[in-house]
Structure 1
Amino acid sequence: MQAVAEFTGLANRGVTRLDNPEGIDRLRNLILGSSNSQIPHALATQVEAEREALASDIDARRFMQRSIAVRRGQRQFRAELVRLYNGRCCISGCDAEPALEAAHITPYKGDHTNTPQNGLLLRADLHTLFDLFELTVDASSHRIRLSNTLKNTMYREFDQVRITPPNKRTAAPAPDALKSHNADFDRANGSTH
């Protein structure tokens, strides 16, 4: 919705809130009732879809349930990884604790996946890139592999960097979990490493 508001400049036409049905309806009426042919059909379609989603209590409940499920046990998992990695991102060395997140190597599927061997302490941006399979930790060398998309960006400094291991050998990332992430990374990037 923010993209629609920015594209059309609707914030200057009385549309200031896009997080409620009234704001969405006003935005929809301004776009669909407008003779402005510069507004892409895809944006108009997105406005309608988001209006319907806001009107649906079911969608909101599903989002809340999913959000709660993802967070269950996360606080302890993160605290353990912060302790094991001495409060530093295992890739960048960042020690700004508010910027550090507990990344699951294989996706969260319940408390049994909140083990140190299934986790890496990563700076928030690196966590996002890890989850998007834009980077991975090679299972055999523990070196960072970047997607071709990242190789010509500021992230190139991390290409082939060896991760800092946890301070407890038994908490090292599980080879099978890393192999699984490597395979998903290869599929996502069309490589056969």
Structure 2
Amino acid sequence: MVVDKPAGLLCQPGLGSHQQDSLINRLQLACPALRLVHRLDRDTSGLVLLAKDPDMLRLLGMFFASRRVRKLYVADVQGQMENVSGLIGLPLARLKRQPPTYGVHPGGKACVTLWRRLKLMESSTRLWLCPRTGRSHQLRAHLAALHHPIIGDPIYNPGCAVGLRLRAMALRFPDPDDPSGQVRVRAPWPAWFNA
């Protein structure tokens, strides 16, 4: 199952009673067997993949582990990015626990993000983002490291009143029922896309 998670909702419960409302808790009210295959940050909206049984969870988990799942995001970042496309290959590590904050560190985990400019605006740039690894806060930390933080990011671009302009737009992965086929899912454009 693929669902469109709204911004501001945790994928799974956090620590403390104030962080118990989550996507998985809501969905399990209707279908208790559902399990998350991957997660999005609370402030990121978009597509999340879930499994309906343990066998499918294992299979989809193997697709993620072997990097056979392609994810595509759209984001608005501060400033104008001169190049049309690029690759960010900076290693990331957790630098702070509360709130969890990640940044470039020589001892960090290898991370690769591909990006392509979608639209150049007056004081910002709209990008397609394709993470080739799946580290926590990868897209947000990588763009902040380039001094082009995502607009509305409460951790890497504080002081911006709008919500996080990052959306998981598309997923592509092998069809579990047809090894030669692909499953492709695309989300609707975010409300801020035409703002």
TM-score, normalization by structure 2 = 0.28
Between 1 and 2, higher relative CO (CA 8 Å, sep ≥ 6) is seen in 2
* Structure that is richer in helix per residue: 1
Q: Which structure carries more strand by proportion?
A: 2
Normalising to structure 1: TM-score of the pair? Answer: 0.29
